[in-house]
Structure 1
Amino acid sequence: MASTHNRLTIKAETSAYWRIIIENPPINLYDPEMFAELNVLMDKIEADRELKVVVFESANTDYFVAHYDLERGEVVPEQPGAAEFSAWPKFVTRLAQSRVVSVAKLRGRARGHGSELALACDMRFASKEKAVLAQVEVGVAVVPGGGATEWLAALAGRSRALEIICGADDFDADTAEKYGWVNRSIPDAELDAFVDNFARRVASFEKRALELAKKLVNARAGVPTEADRWSSNQAFIGTTSWPETQALIGKMYEKGLQQDGDFELRLGHHVGHVAR
């Protein structure tokens, strides 16, 4: 079944295991319609008493989710689940605290908000050959506003979080694994089977035990609060209005930002050269 505008398609492998297929051509931008569908998805997840595990993956092998749509990000479309971007921390909190286990299967580029969607999931498994992760915001004269600051500081530690965020460059799956950004870097030919087997294994277990295990780990792991994420979200929204940011983004649009092509494919490289 497909949600409105079809950015997300739910494929129910079993009553306990759903795959969420992301498809927003040409580069899987995170846009307001995708956010609306994610909110509707959370409603469905919370209402389903049999569901135990969800896997987020992309239909586009080049992009998991490219990044936040800088042109339309603050639009609120007329469709179920629509909300301003400032409501993102609420969505993340719902996902992190939900009864289900969430997994991101990363193939292609997960930059900016794409990385942050993956970080919002409980686990991340990445294609060794095809996954690219980045928090490019500082290179675009903004700061991360979707949770990267909070999650990466906890997962990778202060110095590596600063390297990722202030360096604004692309990271391969092996380095991301070493830094704790992803759980595992897995050969691409084995990724689908690994994630599917893992999800089916989890889906076979007693639901109450899974829920309690997640709740106990969350309590001990120091999951960032909605207030923490809200603060970063507001900082991001504020930086988008800076004159320097607007000028830099304008240059990037001229070079191919948010278009299918080399600029987006090698965005980590290009953001390091636009302002020079």
Structure 2
Amino acid sequence: MSHDTYQTLRMSQEDGVAYVTIDNPPINVLSVAVMTDLRRLLTTLAGDDTVRVIVFDSADSDFFLAHVDMTVTLEDLAGLMADLPEGVNVFQAVGEQLRRQPQVTIVKLAGKARGGGSEFVVAADMAFAAIDRAGLGQIEALMGIVPGGGSTQYLTERVGRNRALEVVLGADLFDAETAERYGWVNRAVPAHELDAFVDRLARNIAALPDGVVAAAKHAIVPGDHADGLARENDAWAGLVFRPATAHLMAAGLTHGAQTRDGEQDLEGLFRGLAG
């Protein structure tokens, strides 16, 4: 497989581990191209029995996946919507495919992941976050919506209802150590140790005797969130098409959202719009 076939991903493979780097400058926004590439990559790797572990990282040290592209339109999503699994929306499809991937999936989080980017992190089997560098947040409430890519279900499963409500409605950026304490990520790791830690874990898993990874994933199954995902989609769709939401998104873009400076404190940017 050649990574040249992907617009926004770089892929290499060694000793049973596929290393996937998300590379969508300027801020690694979760665009239609990224979602298309991710779904195609996961489909391809699902049939590759030489790969036992997939590690995701970012080409951008500041941003793992910023959030869903705020400029995306329904017309832009038409291609992805034409090939949706039953019972999920276009954003949920990415997370559900990741959750049901036959390989072990690991996120190496060294930068920020908000919104749809944070949903990708919580959909993976494991995530490890760099202390003093990583940040996780569900920014959607400040944009007048709720998460629509699975996070209301995946996050509740990980951290409990009370903390999921704090994350979704508090709309703050959480540091690596708090995310670890909440159970949002597996572990907070010193930034200078993150690469070696994740690489060692991935290679150890890939080197296990034949059948062990498949048996573990067969026994330790992801929860079935079909009903919850339908409720989430209804809640999200009931808000996302309102004129007030479009106004907030446009104002955010005008004031620096999806620029490197504006994305450093995106929460503050959107709260400032209400002032």
Q: So what's the TM-score if we normalise by structure 1?
A: 0.91
Q: Report the equivalent of 2:56.
A: 56
Q: Compared with structure 1, are the counterparts of its residues 227 and 88 closer, same or farther at alpha carbon in structure 2 (3 Å cutoff)?
A: farther
Partner Cα separation in structure 2 for residue 175 and residue 108 of structure 1: 15
Matched, 1:35 2:29: no
Aligned equivalents of 1:11 and 1:86: distance in 2?
Answer: 30
Secondary structure of the equivalent of 2:110?
A: strand
Shift of 1:50: 1.8
Contact 1:35 1:82 in 2 (8 A): no
The one of 151, 154, 158 aligned to 1:151: 154
Partner of 1:275: 274
State the distance in 2 between where 1:18 and 1:234 align.
35
Distance 1:81 1:247 in 2: 25
C-alpha deviation, 1:258, in angstroms: 1.3
Q: 1:73 and 1:86, CA in 2 relative to 1: closer, same or farther beyond 3 A? A: farther
Task: Give the match for residue 123 of structure 1.
Answer: 126
Contact 1:39 1:81 in 2 (8 A): no
Instruction: Please show how residues 92-111 of structure 1 align to structure 2 within 5 Å.
Output: 92-111=95-114
Aligned-partner Cα distance in 2 for 1:4–1:164: 36
1:11 equivalenced with 2:29 (yes/no): no
* Paired position in structure 2 for 1:259: 259
Q: Which runs of 5+ in 1 are unaligned?
A: none
The one-letter amino acid paired with 1:216 is A
CA distance in 2, matches of 1:131, 1:73: 29
Say which of 112, 115, 128 aligns to 1:112. 115
Which residue in 2 is equivalent to 1:191?
194
The letter of the residue matching 2:266 is L
Gaps of 5+ in 2: none
Cα contact 2:10–2:21 (8 A) shared by 1: yes
Q: How far is 1:211 from its partner?
A: 1.3
Give the paired residue count: 270
Per the alignment, residue 168 of structure 1 pairs with 171
Q: Aligned pair in 2 of structure 1 residues 81, 35: CA closer, same or farther (>3 Å)?
A: farther
CA RMSD between the two structures: 2.1
Q: CA deviation at 1:94?
A: 2.8
**Deviation larger for 44-53 or 179-188:** 44-53
Contact kept? 1:55, 1:104, Cα under 8 Å: yes
Deviates more, 1:161-170 or 1:249-258: 249-258
SS of 1:67's equivalent in the other structure is: coil
Deviates more, 1:195-204 or 1:236-245: 236-245
Percent identical among aligned pairs is 35
**What is the deviation of 1:233?**
3.3
81 and 223 in structure 1: CA distance in 2 versus 1, 3 angstrom threshold: same
The Cα of 1:35 is off from its aligned counterpart by 0.9
Q: Which amino acid aligns with 1:232?
A: E
Deviation at 1:98, TM superposition (A): 2.3
Q: How many Å apart are 1:3 and its aligned residue?
A: 5.0
Query: Does the aligned pair in 2 maintain the 1:52–1:101 contact within 8 Å?
Result: yes
What residue in structure 1 maps to residue 232 of structure 2? 232
Deviation, structure 1 residue 270: 2.3
Counterpart of 2:108 in 1: which secondary structure? strand
Kindly indicate whether the alpha-carbon contact (under 8 Å) linking 1:151 and 1:224 is maintained by their aligned counterparts in 2: no
Q: Are the aligned partners of 2:64 and 2:112 in contact in 1 as well (CA < 8 Å)? A: yes
SS in 1 for 2:166: helix
What TM-score results when the alignment is normalised by the length of structure 2? 0.91
Structure-to-structure mapping, 1:235-246, within 5 angstroms: 235-246=235-246
